[in-house]
Amino acid sequence: MKITNILLDVVSIPRHTGFVCQHAIVRVMTDEGIVGIGEMSDFSHLPKYSVDVRDLQATLQASLVGRDPFELIAINREMAEMFPETMYYYEKGTFIRCGIDIALHDLVGKALGVNISTLLGGRVRDKLKVCYPIFRSRTLEEVDANVDVVRKRLAQGFDVFRLYAGVNPDADEAFLDRVRQEFGSRVTIKSLDYSHLLDWKSALRTTKRLEPYGVQLVESPAYRNDFEGLRNFRMGVDLPVSEHVWSFKQLQDMIRYDSVDIFNIALIFIGGFQAARKAAAAAEISGKGVLIGTTQELSFGTAAQAIFGASLTNLNAISDPTGPELYVDDVTTEPVRYENGYLLVPEADKPGLGMDIDWEKVERLRVEGFSWGAQKVANLQDRTRGS
């Protein structure tokens, strides 16, 4: 079997917040008619540069056409050389590598007639407990709307929430107080997510203030790649500390500094199944836990996250992939399913990823390429109120 073509279809889909996100659906074509599908999820991140999708498609074609798709290790290594680590969260290169890697795994699974779970060694669970994100309240006036999100999502079965915090501690405390008063023990706040916006000392002060409201852990409470500051923060709180994994060098430094308790691993930020499995193994060897992170993927990318999480023996914290619930539309024939706050792993009896793309939806949502236009930095950070 040989790869004959690589195609990228960019779709633009709004979130319920009004922010518009763009994703690339990857097709890896072969001479035997088997097509592998991947997702390069949510390119709408800082830094605010855009990838030329036609140039990227041509680059991938030049590299991959004629290759054996079963050469997963060799192709992943070449992709890592073409799109190397930069020690930066939201690096677009990992998004690209992730989409190709998911598509190759989907293709190989289809060719062998097995689910990707089989390629990863099977499953140890069929569902993942997940949390719904509450986007950052920059003013006190935004608190009411965020409490209303909790109210509506709780009615749908989501009882755990992740709070983006730190920009306005008064608003954060007002939100947590309102949640405690209205919902009591029916609602759990999984984490305070500072998104690297604060230095570790400021994050520590804010955490001491908000900790009494019953949060379970703290995420990204220091500037990016400040491993010493991250450790200082960890030593100053009783809560577990989590950080995203976006490169193997960064992962090595977090282990060396003993900076975190839980590694936040998302396929999109580390570059796909193979890279994510290495990161999870490193976490397990170093005695650290794992949660499955997210950039808020569509259903196809979320299904990949679920399959990865289902394979882990050290998944010991509530995870984050609820992207399909945030968007007003999707590209699969059937969305991933959530029940009682759990993400259900796609059925194991379907080859590949086990999800099908609705190409009529793709055509309807298609745009020419990636572009962020005049959206403000705060909107890009918080994924809200596109302008």
The pLDDT of residue 86: 86
Distance (Å, rounded) from C-alpha 381 to C-alpha 72? 34
The pLDDT of residue 268: 96
The model's pLDDT over 206-244, given as tens digits with 9 standing for 90+, comes to 999 999 999 999 999 999 999 999 999 999 999 999 999
Q: Show me where the domains of the chain are located.
A: 3-115+378-382, 118-349
Mean pLDDT value across residues 285-311: 97
The pLDDT of residue 183: 98
Distance (Å, rounded) from C-alpha 220 to C-alpha 22? 25
Q: To the nearest whole percent, how much of the chain has pLDDT over 70?
A: 96
CATH fold for domain 3-115+378-382: Enolase-like; domain 1 (3.30.390)
Q: What is the dihedral of CA 149, 155, 158, 159, to 10 degrees?
A: 90
Query: Does residue 386 register a pLDDT over 60?
Result: no
Query: Does residue 374 register a pLDDT over 80?
Result: no
Strand-pair category, 132-134 with 160-164 = parallel
- Given the residues 49, 88, 132, 164, select the one marked as catalytic: 164
Q: What is the rounded average pLDDT for all residues in the chain?
A: 95
Question: Of the ranges 30-34, 43-47, 167-171, 185-189, which one carries the lowest mean pLDDT score?
Answer: 43-47
Any idea which architecture 118-349 has in CATH? Alpha-Beta Barrel (3.20)
Active site residue 88: no
Active site residue 257: no
Mean pLDDT value across residues 85-94: 86
The pLDDT of residue 91: 86
- Do 291 and 243 meet the contact criterion of CB atoms below 8 Å apart? no
Numbered residues of the known binding site: 15, 42, 45, 89, 193, 219, 244, 294-295, 383
Q: To the nearest whole percent, how much of the chain has pLDDT over 90?
A: 89
Numbered residues of the known binding site for Mg(2+): 42, 45, 193, 219, 244, 295
Q: What is the pTM of this model?
A: 0.95
The pLDDT of residue 375: 67
Mean pLDDT value across residues 93-107: 97
Mean pLDDT value across residues 57-75: 98
47 upstream amide cis, omega within 30 of 0:
yes
